[in-house]
Amino acid sequence: MIISALKSSDNLDNRSPIHPDTISALTKLGANIYFEASIGEGIFTSDNVFHELGLKSQSREECIKNSDLLISNQPLTNDEVLLMKPGSTLLGMVNPFSNQELINTCASHQINLVSMEFIPRITRAQKMDVLSSQANLGRICICFRIR
């Protein structure tokens, strides 16, 4: 299985969908993990850190074309979705209520789509609740700026 992580297409979004502290769970499963070059710049992590953990850097296009599971913080464009292999999965923030075109493109090209916005906001799923985690990060950033 090939898992790839993409950097945000928004220059103001410095988040990374992968982090050195959490990547070992995937590498222990035997997955090949690729990432878009410079993915860690926003979290002050060089590509070398990911390379040392066994990940491989590729271009955005290569990540999209070769992945069985693609992880992204931002919705992909329709042209990017068309590059994906049929039967592969796109996991991430997809803005599902105002992005019907992306949903339709995924459906017509047999791409599985998992919208992180639909993870339930319950205690059991709290680790995966992107809305709460992003709100918590925002509160942390505000606290550090105030001090």
Residue 135 predicted with pLDDT over 50 = no
The number of distinct structural domains making up the chain is 1
Say what the pTM is: 0.80
pLDDT classification of 82: cutoffs 50, 70, 90? very high
3-state secondary structure the chain: CEEEECCCCCCCCCCCCCCCCCCHHHHHCCCEEEEECCCCHHHCCCHHHHHHCCCEEECHHHHHHHCCEEEECCCCCHHHHHHCCCCCEEEECCCHHHCHHHHHHHHHCCCEEEEHHHCCCCHHHHHHCHHHHHHHHHHHHHHHHHC
Q: What is the pLDDT of residues 42-76, one digit of tens each?
A: 888 889 999 999 999 999 999 999 999 999 998 99
Establish if 67 belongs to a structural domain. Answer: yes
Per the domain annotation, does 38 fall within a domain? yes
* CATH number, residue 60: 3.40.50.720
Give the CA radius of gyration of the chain: 16
Per-residue pLDDT tens over the stretch 97-114: 899 999 999 999 999 999
User: Is there a domain that residue 53 lies in?
Assistant: yes
- 68 within a domain of the structure (yes/no): yes
In a domain, 109, yes or no: yes
- With respect to residue 87, please indicate whether it lies within any of the assigned structural domains: yes
Structural domain includes residue 30: yes
Instruction: Look up the domain containing 53 and give its range.
Output: 2-119
